[in-house]
Structure 1
Amino acid sequence: MEIKPHYFWAVRLPDSIKQYIQDEMTNVKQIFKFKRWVHMDDYHITLVFLGSVDQQKTQSVIDLVGDAIKDEKAFELQIEGLNVFGNNISPRIFWGAVNHETKLHQLQAVVHKKCQEAGFTLENRPYHPHITLARNWTGNEEFDRGLLQKHNPFYEEALSFQANEIVLYKSNLEKTPKYEPVATFSLLDE
């Protein structure tokens, strides 16, 4: 059975930020017992998940989103902490928390709208920007939420960076890293 790639729009993280996160995660892997850690090159902040896409729709959504964001300006984001999704005993996703930045939410709304105009059926859950770091708790004991603050490398000083690239990624589940850029748009300098 052929596995169809999935596509998603995301904010690309600068390489220096990816390396910093990777270094910090290497320091806490023994504390946070997750099964699969995300490859450094796959760190991103998802804007809109599209699922599998045919070639005609791919070009349509690239054109619509590219045109809609051509005048958008870059903005600053901060990684402020660590958190988890899933049940508190055995969480399924370990993630880096991004500050609430109005410009990010506005950009996500524009991309979401253009994807719908291109014919995609999208989730309508509230947008919760984050950076997935690892998946599937495998610790022998229940997950201790107190560890999130105790071992948070971003607690004393948030990690700041310019959000200046929006990318349409294609997932290649059989490869590492698994996300391949299909289209990249630069945001204007502030």
Structure 2
Amino acid sequence: MPRLFTALEVPEDVAQALATYRGGLSGARWIDVENYHVTLRFLGDIEEEVAQEAAYLLGQVRRAPFEVTIEGLDAFGGDRPRALIARIAPSPAIVELQAEHERLMRRAGLPSEKRKFAPHVTLARLRDASPRAVADYLGLRGGPPGLTFRADQFVIYSSRDSVGGGPYVMEAAYPLR
């Protein structure tokens, strides 16, 4: 049973720029640079037939390429920070693409995604990082101003059952046109 999700790839030059923020935060488990991506829809551990239906439905998506802008660094988890992220500006193009993925996955028989879509690139998983240490890290680093890339395809990735962070395998790619 594959564990799948749809995503935008982060180009190598942008990934390398984000990699300069690695280090300096106790309790961070840094994601390998080659595994940086922007998740659109988590499908989960699904049966092969559902995976095939999802792949077929995603092949029907017709959207134009668009620009993706990284706004800055942030953290998920509030008083119990669990991830350090690069926040993506929620443009109409990315929000509409994600909403279409959500509709198609529901049509394939998957349950609705419970979490609100917050486009981001996960840079590190946090374990026992204090809110103060995370706030200090973010205050010192600021974030990557003006980092932009063109999304000209989305992909389906599979991952092994792990604590997150890859390695991910591209199972299918869908051009935006």
Say whether the fold is shared (TM-score over 0.5).
yes
Q: Does the 8 Å CA contact 1:91/1:143 hold for their aligned counterparts?
A: no
> SS state of the match for residue 57, structure 1?
helix
| Superposition TM-score, scaled by structure 1 size | 0.84
Amino acid aligned to 1:21: L
Residue 46 of structure 1: aligned partner: 39
Residue 25 of structure 1: aligned partner: 21
User: Which residue among 140, 146, 154 is the counterpart of 1:158?
Assistant: 146
> SS state of the match for residue 143, structure 1?
helix
Q: 1:178 to 1:5 in 2, by over 3 A?
A: farther
Amino acid aligned to 1:167: V
RMSD: 2.1
**C-alpha separation in 2, matches of 1:85 and 1:141:** 11
| Superposition TM-score, scaled by structure 2 size | 0.89
Residue 130 of structure 1: aligned partner: 120
Runs (5+) with no aligned partner, structure 1: none
Runs (5+) with no aligned partner, structure 2: none
Greater Cα radius of gyration, structure 1 or 2: 1
> SS state of the match for residue 133, structure 2?
coil
Q: Does the 8 Å CA contact 2:78/2:131 hold for their aligned counterparts?
A: no
Residue 157 of structure 2: aligned partner: 169
Residue 9 of structure 1: aligned partner: 6
The percentage of counterpart residues that share the same residue type is: 28
**C-alpha separation in 1, matches of 2:45 and 2:77:** 24
Aligned length: 176
Q: 1:114 to 1:141 in 2, by over 3 A?
A: closer
Deviates more, 1:125-134 or 1:112-121: 125-134
- Cα offset, 1:16, TM superposition: 1.7
Q: Does the 8 Å CA contact 1:81/1:149 hold for their aligned counterparts?
A: no
Q: Which whole-Å deviations, capped at 9, do the CAs of 1:74-96 have from their partners, x for residues lacking one?
A: 100111111111133x4111100
